[in-house]
Amino acid sequence: MKTRKLGNLEVSAIGLGCMGMSHGFGPAADRKEMIALIRRAVELGVTMFDTAECYGPYLNEELVGEALAPFRGEVKIATKFGIQVVDGKQIQDSRPEVIRKSVEGSLRRLKIEAIDLYYQHRGDPNVPIEEVAGTVKELVKAGKVRNWGLSEPGISSIRRAHAILPLTAIESEYSMWWRKPEAELLPTLEELGIGLVPFSPLGKGFLTGTIKAGATFGRDDFRSIVPRFAPKMLAANQKLVVLLNELAAEKGCTSAQLALAWLLAQKPWIVPIPGTRQFSRLEENLASAELELSPEELSLINTALEEVEVVGDRYPEALEKRTGI
């Protein structure tokens, strides 16, 4: 597996997003199978694993901690603070005392002495980012955190946080069907020397071509409340799937591999973290790290993408308000 750098943190070119193994996409998968899947990822060269305190809550960190316990020092684990689950609802809470409590819980569940990459999961409108950065700076000095980042922050927050404690990475949704980061986020990160970790690089499964028009999702599947996955939107967005299938066929790869290779080709400091519960999909996704796209191929793909209009919001309004803080 090729490697890349997020700031000064060197990791595999493609990481593994672990959320969906126990949270967000229906009932949790079999624990033993997911431990085996994570360990298979290590065998295939993955060194970047992503989880969060609120996934489950807590279940996903416990899963990742158990699975990666034999590989301490060989892999990097990213987790997140700043979203608490109270009475079944997520609330943003980045008060210093909450962060300090969160880090202790994450260290215990992950079975590690220091967190390799600690993200603020979402901004807290009630806590200045300078206060958050200062708290994490104390945790770095205490040896409990090695690097830190922000998930889906506003540009102003990135600059203000970076001035207090240099950021290693920003986590943000970014894919062929969510390209908003190209306008302001990517230029800002390039200027400041901060890496980008795209989550949902396969559009929550849509870019694999396996989600057809008319697909439905259970109430425990996050996509059931995402406007972009509503029946009319899914039908309209099939044009993107058709295009992607055609481009992938020309390249001799799968749609998912092309979508990931396209992301990797955007910047050398981009490390996508596709998630999966299937061993075959894991191997398929990781193989995209070896897929090279020439400037001519990228130009052709981008021209084709510009001719397809993606419809539907990526989040319900209430969740979109949590981003860009």
Question: Tokens representing 208?
Answer: 């694999």
Torsion sign, CA atoms 314, 150, 175, 214: negative
Q: Let me know: does 113 contact 107? Beta carbons within 8 Å.
A: yes
pLDDT in tens, 99-114: 999 999 999 999 999 9
| Number of domains within the chain | 1
pLDDT in tens, 200-230: 999 999 999 999 999 999 999 999 999 999 9
Q: What is the pLDDT of residue 159?
A: 98
Closest residue by Cα to residue 196 from 1, 11, 33: 11
60 lies in some domain: yes
Closest residue by Cα to residue 206 from 222, 190, 191, 195: 222
Looking at residue 37, the DSSP 8-state letter turns out to be H
| Block residue for tokens 């290693």 | 168
- Cα–Cα distance between 270 and 23 in angstroms, integer? 25
Write the single-letter amino acid at 293. L
Cα dihedral value 146, 6, 10, 63, nearest 10: 60
Q: What is the pLDDT of residue 26?
A: 92
Closest residue by Cα to residue 269 from 199, 191, 202, 190: 190
Write the single-letter amino acid at 263. L
**What is the residue-level pLDDT of the chain in tens, covering all 325 positions?**
999 999 999 999 999 999 999 999 999 999 999 999 999 999 999 999 999 999 999 999 999 999 999 999 999 999 999 999 999 899 999 999 999 999 999 999 999 999 999 999 999 999 999 999 999 999 999 999 999 999 999 999 999 999 999 999 999 999 999 999 999 999 999 999 999 999 999 999 999 999 999 999 999 999 999 999 999 999 999 999 999 999 999 999 999 999 999 999 999 999 999 999 999 999 999 999 999 999 999 999 999 999 999 999 999 999 999 999 9
Closest residue by Cα to residue 181 from 292, 257, 266, 307: 266
Range of the domain at 166: 3-209+263-291
Whichever domain contains 127, its CATH number is 3.20.20.100
- Cα–Cα distance between 165 and 133 in angstroms, integer? 6
138: how many CB neighbours lie within 10 A of its CB? Answer: 14
Length of the chain: 325
170 lies in some domain: yes
Told to judge if 119 belongs to the known catalytic residues of this protein, a careful annotator would answer no
320 lies in some domain: no
Q: What is the pLDDT of residue 88?
A: 87
Q: Let me know: does 103 contact 115? Beta carbons within 8 Å.
A: yes
Closest residue by Cα to residue 67 from 29, 41, 103: 41
251 lies in some domain: no
Q: In this structure, what are the phi and psi dihedrals at residue 255, rounded to the nearest 5 degrees?
A: -60, -45
309 lies in some domain: no
24 lies in some domain: yes
32 lies in some domain: yes
**Alpha helices (runs of H) in the chain, residue ranges in sequence order:** 31-43, 59-68, 96-110, 129-141, 155-164, 185-192, 231-236, 238-251, 255-266, 279-287, 295-306, 317-320
216 lies in some domain: no
pTM of this structure: 0.98
